[in-house]
Structure 1
């Protein structure tokens, strides 16, 4: 195992064991290197790597601290990678959304508060009768974000959030080119909302699957047609 990887594993071990807790300051570099049996250079490289993925935070003139380790913070690194996706991977992102979002929607149907369900209704009602595609997609992103928040699971919410970006362009493209896409999206959002409001998780799951699969199937067909032309 490379020495930097070994150093990373040892610092992770201190955090997992509870020796270092969220918000704790790391010991001085020389003391920590001696404690872990590492060279100061390998420890320095490990700290840099753990800062990149938001596990550690170096504060100039103050020291190095363990971050809050909140899911949203740690998943920022994944979002960074996701932002560099290629167009031909959008179907892969949609496939993952098709797994996660119906599950989140089913959970939200049992956990979402009445206040949050009322806010979801306002979001649907606040959309103009004939919205622009951009307005519809923005509404769509917010609709799914609120449902994910309604699960009460911050990890699931952060994962869904990070997967939304790569599919935004495909959703706009569909809205501009597929006849009836705007009306279909509105109808499906209403059906998802009705299922959540009725506290019917399996119905909510089914409608969320239909909703996401529609974009996925359209994109598969469109990309196939493009390759044949």
Structure 2
């Protein structure tokens, strides 16, 4: 373990032990550095790493503080990491979503309030009104599922699901569905999820969500396979010295 890693671990231990509770101010950088017997530069690197991890936050003119440590804060960076997944690891993320989202939707059916159901209905209506506007469809699609999971009242689950939903992947799927004239079927799947929530039927809500996520996974697997098959042919036609094509990446849009 490097000295910087030891400094990170020390600060984490102070937080876990309750000596630095959420919202508390970190001791001075020189003091912490002297306590650990390391340079201020190494301590600064440790603090910077914990800021990136959303464990600490720097308030200009006030010092460094422990964040709220709530799930929405600590898991905030998960979505950005998911957006960079490619190929098989991207499919693993979709599999993870298939494991979590149906169960979360079933749980939401048993807990959703009338107000929360109205929010879900609003996003469903907005999706239907958007027709072939991929950006708008994507925005309300994400909000639809976020509202469903939020209805569970489980903030950790909501933050986790928001992170693994994959904004870029969702946008590509909508574009593919529209181009393939399959968008209406996907909208109908959202309607089925809403109907199950409105009925308070947990088993049906879980089943409809599973069908919906499976549609996404099936499309993505087919899409990645088509791209993988097409790229060698493109490279053969262009020659070995040609510049790479932006569209050769199966994930970036």
Say whether the fold is shared (TM-score over 0.5).
yes
1:148 aligns with 2:149: yes
Matched, 1:45 2:65: no
Identify the residue that residue 174 of structure 1 maps to in structure 2.
176
CA distance in 1, matches of 2:204, 2:175: 28
On the 8 A contact 2:107/2:152 being kept in 1, the answer is yes
CA distance in 1, matches of 2:156, 2:84: 22
Q: What TM-score, normalized to structure 1? A: 0.88
Contact 2:126–2:140 (Cα < 8 Å) also in 1: no
Q: Indicate conservation of the 8 Å contact 1:94/1:216, yes or no.
A: yes
* Equivalent residue, structure 2, for 1:101: 101
Report the equivalent of 2:214.
213
Q: Which runs of 5+ in 1 are unaligned?
A: none
2:73 counterpart residue number: 73
- Deviation for aligned residue 1:139: 2.5
The equivalent residue for 2:199 is 198
Per the alignment, residue 90 of structure 1 pairs with: 90
Q: Name the CA distance, whole Å, in 2 between partners of 1:66 and 1:141.
A: 30
Unmatched 5+ residue regions in structure 2? 231-253
Give the Cα separation in 2 of the matches to 1:93 and 1:173.
Answer: 20
Change (3 A) 1:71 1:56: same
- TM-score for the superposition, normalised by structure 2: 0.81
Q: What is the rounded CA distance, in whole Å, between the counterparts of 1:148 and 1:7 in structure 2?
A: 37
| Alignment root-mean-square deviation, CA | 2.1
Change over 3 Å in CA distance of 1:129–1:50 after alignment to 2: closer
SS of the equivalent of 1:85 reads coil
